[in-house]
Every structure is written in structure tokens, then in C-alpha cells.
Amino acid sequence: MVPTWVPLLAALSSIVVWGSFTVPLKSRAVVEADVHPLWFQLYMSLGVSLSSFAFLAVEPSAPSDFTMWGGVSAFMWTFSNVNAMAAIQFVGI
């Protein structure tokens, strides 16, 4: 049984992290390197994938079924984030 504070901590940390995921896109190193939004999205997606697989390795009882809907969701998330990254570079934060 998971203690009550664990999901609350996860929710609070996701609020902070989700709202600031574009901040590295405007960092000095990324701006100077002139990273294309597709490459930045690739790096971010790899980080999400690797951390997800690391979680599955640590928690073997977690559900890990791969479905078509997971692939559709990943496509939509990636497509939306690529457009968001391009908009952020064009307009700014």
C-alpha cells in the first residue's frame, strides 16, 4: 500500500516540472548552439523514455503493456511539443 503523501508529492512535483519544461530551451547554451526544435524534442523524449524504463526496472510490478494507444499518444505528444518548441523559439517565453 502506498502512503498518502507519495501521490501528493508526485502531483506537486509534476506541477513544478510540467510548468518549467521549456526553460532549458531558452538557456544560454541552447540559444548559442541554435538547437533546432526537433533535436531538442528528441533529447527531451529520450530523457522521458529512459527515465520511464528506469522506473520499470526498479518497480517490476508496475504495468508495462505496450499498446497501439501508447504509440498514438506518444506521436501526439511529440507533434505538439515540436510545435510548442518552435513557437517558443519564435515568440519567446
38 burial level (CB within 10 Å; 0-12, 13-18, 19+): exposed
Determine the average pLDDT of the residues in 16-41. Answer: 81
pTM of the model: 0.60
Determine the average pLDDT of the residues in 22-29. Answer: 80
Q: Is 64 helix (H, G, I), strand (E, B) or coil?
A: coil
- Alpha-carbon span 4 to 49, nearest angstrom: 27
Determine the pLDDT at residue 93.
64
Cell digits of residue 40? 531538442
86 burial level (CB within 10 Å; 0-12, 13-18, 19+): middle
